[in-house]
């Protein structure tokens, strides 16, 4: 058995020796420049020390407490509350909780003070009068609600316009371009925004 194996190996080696030596111009791969990025720990990413994170916790707790109050008093079967006021309370409760969660993530915006301030103001000016209308059946604060709605809309737009997502996408595009082609033109390197 060993004899046949040695013969086969000798034959294979003789074949490789009989191939004329052709000088093929093999060159080493071009070195790709390293794009180093610091991986932030989750504590820094979500910056739990942000006042808006604490405010979001307080607002979320208030939203849950008001929803529980509404379920046991405003939305109760025998409650002396009109259907319109019940719908108003449901709307206020839903918007309050959703925007409390959004307030939690305002620390990720490029300008967290602007985004968080708009969310907090929007919650107060939109949900507050809605709760007041639903519980007290008093519409004196109703003209304030559109201003709160505009604050909430502008808060969402501030995420769109001023978020760090733009710089993240730009960095990823540059790293992809650098990995695909080592001769990257200087005009592809976008300035910091």
Average pLDDT of the residues of the chain: 78
Q: Find out whether 85 and 134 touch, Cβ atoms under 8 Å.
A: yes
In a domain, 185, yes or no: no
Distance of alpha carbon 62 from the chain centroid: 24
Tell me whether residue 99 is in a domain.
yes
Q: What is the pLDDT of residues 75-116, one digit of tens each?
A: 777 777 888 988 999 999 999 999 999 998 888 787 888 899
Tell me, yes or no, whether 25 lies in a domain: no
pTM listed for this prediction: 0.61
Asked whether residue 18 is assigned to any structural domain, the reply reads no
Number of domains in the chain: 1
Domain assignment present for 26: no
Range of the domain at 80: 47-167
CA nearest 60: which of 120, 115, 117, 150? 120
What CA–CA distance (Å, rounded) separates 80 from 157? 39
């Amino acid at each position: 058995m060993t004899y046949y194996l040695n013969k086969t190996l000798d034959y294979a080696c003789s074949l490789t020796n009989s191939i004329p030596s052709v000088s093929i111009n093999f060159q080493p791969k071009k070195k790709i420049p390293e794009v180093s990025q610091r991986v932030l720990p989750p504590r820094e990413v979500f910056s739990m020390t942000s006042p808006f994170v604490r405010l979001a916790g307080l607002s979320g707790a208030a939203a849950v407490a008001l929803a529980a109050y509404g379920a046991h008093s405003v939305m109760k079967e025998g409650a002396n509350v009109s259907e319109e006021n019940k719908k108003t309370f449901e709307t206020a409760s839903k918007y309050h909780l959703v925007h409390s969660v959004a307030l939690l993530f305002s620390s990720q915006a490029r300008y967290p003070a602007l985004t968080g301030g708009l969310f907090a103001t929007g919650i107060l000016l939109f949900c507050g009068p809605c709760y007041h209308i639903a519980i007290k059946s008093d519409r004196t604060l109703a003209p304030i609600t559109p201003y709160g709605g505009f604050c909430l809309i502008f808060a969402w737009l501030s995420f769109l316009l001023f978020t760090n997502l733009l710089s993240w996408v730009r960095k990823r595009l540059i790293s992809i371009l650098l990995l695909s082609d080592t001769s990257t033109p200087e005009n592809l390197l976008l300035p910091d925004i």
